[in-house]
Amino acid sequence: MGSRQTCTLSLKTTHRQAALTTATNLLSTFRAFHLGNPEATWEQLKEGLKEIAESVLQSRSVWEGLGSSGIDSSGHVYSDIGDDFSVIAATEPLSVDQTKALALGRRMMLAAEKKTAGDPSDLLAIIEELRAITSSTTPLTSTTGSTPTAHPVAGEAITFETLYKLHMEERQADWQPATLKNKRACYGILAGMLGDLDLRSHTRKDMTDLKARLMEGRKPSTVNKILIELSSVMTWGEDNGYLNKTFGKGLQIRKGSESEREAFTPTQVADLMAYANKLPTSSWQRWALSLGVVTGARIGEIYQITTEDLTKIEEQLVMDINTNDGKTLKNKFSARVVPVVSEHGVDVSALQAFAEAANGKLFKMSSSGFTTQLNQLIRDVLGTETNTGQSFHSLRHHLAGALKAAEAPLGIAQEILGHSSGSITFDLYGSGRAVQVDRMAEALRDALSDS
């Protein structure tokens, strides 16, 4: 690590032992990722991250060096390290490369948490992204403020890396950060696999061979997400004159590619609401479940709801899903207003009283705590196990299916669910005030009364 490093941390505690413990954890995290070395190059940082990611994939004891006796003993090691990164980002002077490594490390911790729950797909994607970076001096973590990608001249080879960077320069302003992150991960995997292939002369066999490689160790739904990004970039290249023809279309896997999350059955939803309605009106679990059932909102959208976001439009209570006060959404189509109806016994007046008493965020705990506790509650009530395809998000699938079964107009379903296209709304989930609130409320009542 070179010369001895020092740093000053504001630990937000007056308890000396707690402060020392926090400092030790932060500094251990700092050093493990080379973040304590201001001279560390991007190559060193990248190699360190790749080594740790591969170790997380292969071993359960990689974090013992950070003062933990193992993942099982702490239960939240990866989450804690992710929190450490947030503090480091807020308190430490970092170079550009260190900042990029920090952002990638935080993504890695989220992926590592999923790996401990039995889903290593995100961690594998990050490893492949890191491997792909090896062939490029420009990291995939950011393009903002970088030197514009040179436009290829006539006769010059066009690699996927060249094409996706040109595509991003034009389109990235339209994407939310989470969407941009997912696209970069997919682009990194594709760039690594396609390498120096000249897309100006690619063949269908090149694309089917790529598909076969992507299918090694990945779920069909993951492969399809990557192939969709491939097709969008190459179609853009064709439309803008970079490619004469693209063979990247129609590669998606049809069998077994359905969304991995299963919708709850009407009986399961009824059981959840019967439980929720018996909880005290001061219980946050009661209202989180209720909002999930009657609005189909994503768990992250519900978590961010504030008192001001529950309001009335012509006597109809609505939940305003927005980006006010620093809230984040999946994409620009996610901002919407959804009526909160009283189906399944939802006490709308009691919900309003709970929101007013909150005087700010309705759900005060951390995002990870909110998600973990809510999903565990659902499993406890229904008697289901983890990794069975059912979670809080299954409420969203249930509502989409219910809207489809009730023959709700596609445009109304899109407004309620916040999707960018009808095909996503019904095809994926069914196996802001373009639409008036009363029509949406009527569609929700019809759908939920029969489900």
Among 80-94, 114-128, 133-147, the range scoring the smallest mean pLDDT is: 133-147
User: Apex CA 362: angle with CA 12 and CA 327, to 5°?
Assistant: 75
> Is residue 227 located within the same domain as residue 368?
no
pLDDT of res. 193: 87
Q: How confident is the model at residue 377 (pLDDT cuts 50, 70, 90)?
A: very high
Distances (CA, A) of 99 to 7, 38, 139, 201, 261: 16, 11, 12, 38, 34
Task: Give the residue-averaged pLDDT of 382-391.
Answer: 79
> Is residue 280 located within the same domain as residue 369?
yes
Of 179, 176, 169, 298, which Cα lies nearest the Cα of 229? 179
Q: How confident is the model at residue 74 (pLDDT cuts 50, 70, 90)?
A: very low
For the chain, the maximum distance between any two Cα atoms, rounded to a whole number of angstroms, is: 71
pTM, to two decimals: 0.48
Residue 309 main-chain phi, psi, to 5 deg: -80, -15
Structural domain contains residue 318: yes
Task: Examine the fold and report which residue of 227, 257, 287 is the final residue of a domain before the chain moves on.
Answer: 257
Query: What angle, 0 to 180 degrees and rounded to 10, lies between the N-to-C axes of helices 220-239 and 160-171?
Result: 80
> Is residue 149 located within the same domain as residue 90?
no
Task: Give the residue-averaged pLDDT of 395-409.
Answer: 89
> Is residue 372 located within the same domain as residue 228?
no
* Residue 49: burial class (beta carbons within 10 Å; 0-12, 13-18, 19+): buried
Give Cβ neighbours of residue 201 (< 8 Å, ≥ 6 apart).
Answer: none
Range of the domain at 69: 16-117
Q: Is 304 helix (H, G, I), strand (E, B) or coil?
A: coil
| Of 312 and 329, more confident | 312
At residue 396, does pLDDT exceed 50?
yes
Percent of the chain with pLDDT over 90: 24
Do residues 9 and 23 lie in contact, with contact meaning Cβ atoms separated by under 8 Å?
yes
d(C-alpha 139, C-alpha 145), whole Å = 13
Of 333, 262, 264, which Cα lies nearest the Cα of 293? 264
Q: Half-sphere exposure (CA, 13 Å, Cβ side) for 104?
A: 32
Do residues 250 and 230 lie in contact, with contact meaning Cβ atoms separated by under 8 Å?
no
Structural domain contains residue 388: yes
Query: What angle, 0 to 180 degrees and rounded to 10, lies between the N-to-C axes of helices 394-405 and 266-276?
Result: 120
> Is residue 340 located within the same domain as residue 439?
yes
| Of 358 and 367, more confident | 358
Token couple for 302: 């519900």
β-pairing, 336-339 with 310-313?
unpaired
Structural domain contains residue 135: no
> Is residue 383 located within the same domain as residue 401?
yes
At residue 30, does pLDDT exceed 70?
no
pLDDT of res. 140: 42
β-pairing, 336-339 with 316-321?
antiparallel
d(C-alpha 336, C-alpha 324), whole Å = 12
Structural domain contains residue 8: no
Give Cβ neighbours of residue 96 (< 8 Å, ≥ 6 apart).
Answer: none
pLDDT of res. 71: 33
> Is residue 391 located within the same domain as residue 374?
yes
pLDDT of res. 296: 93
pLDDT of res. 151: 60
Task: Give the residue-averaged pLDDT of 97-114.
Answer: 78
Structural domain contains residue 10: no
Do residues 125 and 109 lie in contact, with contact meaning Cβ atoms separated by under 8 Å?
no
The length of the chain is: 451
Element (H, E) at 422: helix 422-423
- The total of structural domains in the chain comes to 3
Neighbours of 284 (CB within 10 A): 17
Q: How far does Cα 255 stand from its chain's mean position?
A: 24
Which CATH number characterizes residue 291's domain? 1.10.443.10
Do residues 139 and 100 lie in contact, with contact meaning Cβ atoms separated by under 8 Å?
yes
Task: Examine the fold and report which residue of 229, 257, 285 is the final residue of a domain before the chain moves on.
Answer: 257
Expressed in percent and rounded to 5, the helix, strand and coil fractions of the chain are 60, 5, 35
Task: Examine the fold and report which residue of 240, 257, 274 is the final residue of a domain before the chain moves on.
Answer: 257
> Is residue 163 located within the same domain as residue 239?
yes
Q: What is the pLDDT of residues 231-259, one digit of tens each?
A: 889 888 888 888 888 888 888 776 544 44
> Is residue 214 located within the same domain as residue 187?
yes
Task: Give the residue-averaged pLDDT of 340-354.
Answer: 95
> Is residue 249 located within the same domain as residue 374?
no
- Which ranges in 156-240 belong to alpha helices (H)? 160-171, 177-194, 204-214, 220-239
> Is residue 343 located within the same domain as residue 412?
yes
Q: What is the pLDDT of residues 160-202, one digit of tens each?
A: 998 999 888 888 777 777 777 888 888 888 988 898 899 989 9
Structural domain contains residue 9: no
- Which ranges in 277-366 belong to alpha helices (H)? 284-295, 299-303, 348-358
pLDDT of res. 295: 95
Structural domain contains residue 62: yes
Do residues 111 and 127 lie in contact, with contact meaning Cβ atoms separated by under 8 Å?
no
Which CATH number characterizes residue 221's domain? 1.10.150.130
> Is residue 251 located within the same domain as residue 303?
no
Structural domain contains residue 89: yes
